[in-house]
Amino acid sequence: MPLSFRSRPVGDITVVTCEGPIVEGDASAALRQHVNDVLEHTPAVVLDLGAVHFIDSSGLGLLVRILARAGSGNLKLCGLTSRVSETLKLTRLLTVFDCHDSEAEAIAAFYRTPTGSNRPSPFVVPNVLCADRSADLLTYMQEVLRQAGLRVITTDNLPDAVTLLKATRPKVVLVGRELRSAGSSGAVDTFNRLVDRVAVVELPSDFARLDPGETGPQLVERVRVLLETAV
């Protein structure tokens, strides 16, 4: 099976999930170009190698080139299989990369101060998380709140919302009613348990169709009040 990959945003970070061998050829060249393109628009990338079971010498060189392009601290690997991990150990490249067991751990690492460093993480911890199925509504809320000086991240699904809640611990969560009550999966239960510990604004089902001239200022004011009273 040839190498395939897909990416998705998780807050301000992009996760690139790879499946198949990373070996010399067009597919690996396409992966490098894809990550380069991603880095033009996002400051950080998590490369999920959980479904990569073989990397040849060219593939290792590719990972090093991606790291050099991303810059130190802006690329993290996760989910390494035992064979890939052993390959990195034998080639003494394991310590070159910032590796994590899971995607969630890799994302959380971006928001922590590096071990042994007095400098804070370059990734600003948000105080507001917006979660809704509509990409357009998320963009609207993000820009309105950022224009008001708030630090905002967004996601369109509950599993990533859970990851971001654990990684960034925002003080206020804006969530679409339909998304929050979408079934009874483990992600829904975990999300609801986590947001019970923070201030939550549940958006009505018709929020996207309301007059933004009214909802925008009201939303900003409500979030400001919640932030002022948050512990």
For residue range 150-173, what is the model confidence (pLDDT) as tens digits? 999 999 999 999 999 999 999 999
Nearest in space to 166 (alpha carbons), one of 142, 141, 197: 197
Residue position matching structure tokens 């395939």: 4
More confident site: 72 or 45: 45
Q: List alpha helices for 103-198, DSSP H.
A: 103-109, 135-147, 158-168, 177-180, 186-195
Output the pLDDT for position 73: 80
Output the pLDDT for position 104: 94
Architecture of domain 4-109: 2-Layer Sandwich (3.30)
Output the pLDDT for position 78: 97
Output the pLDDT for position 126: 85
Average model confidence (pLDDT) across the chain? 89
More confident site: 112 or 20: 20
Confidence check: pLDDT of 119 > 90: no
Stretch among 91-105, 145-159, 186-200, 208-222 having the lowest mean pLDDT: 186-200
* Whole-number Å distance between alpha carbons of 136 and 154: 11
Binned at pLDDT 50, 70 and 90, residue 51 comes out as: very high
Confidence check: pLDDT of 192 > 90: no
Q: Give the other-Cβ count within 10 Å of 209's Cβ.
A: 9
Spell out the residues 6+ positions from residue 16 whose beta carbon is closer than 8 angstroms to its own. Answer: 5, 6, 7, 31, 34, 35, 38, 45, 46, 47, 48
Confidence check: pLDDT of 118 > 80: no
CATH code given to domain 128-229? 3.40.50.2300
> Do residues 112 and 121 make contact, with C-beta atoms less than 8 angstroms apart?
yes
Domains 4-109 and 128-229 share a fold: no
Over residues 131-140, the mean pLDDT reads: 93
Output the pLDDT for position 57: 95
Output the pLDDT for position 120: 45
Confidence check: pLDDT of 19 > 60: yes
Over residues 119-136, the mean pLDDT reads: 79
Query: If residue 84 lies in a helix (H) or strand (E), which one and from where to where?
Result: helix 82-90
Confidence check: pLDDT of 88 > 80: yes
Output the pLDDT for position 18: 96
Portion of the chain with pLDDT greater than 90, in percent: 70
Stated pTM of the model: 0.85
For the chain, what are the domain ranges?
Answer: 4-109, 128-229
Binned at pLDDT 50, 70 and 90, residue 121 comes out as: low
Residue position matching structure tokens 């509504």: 137
Query: If residue 52 lies in a helix (H) or strand (E), which one and from where to where?
Result: none
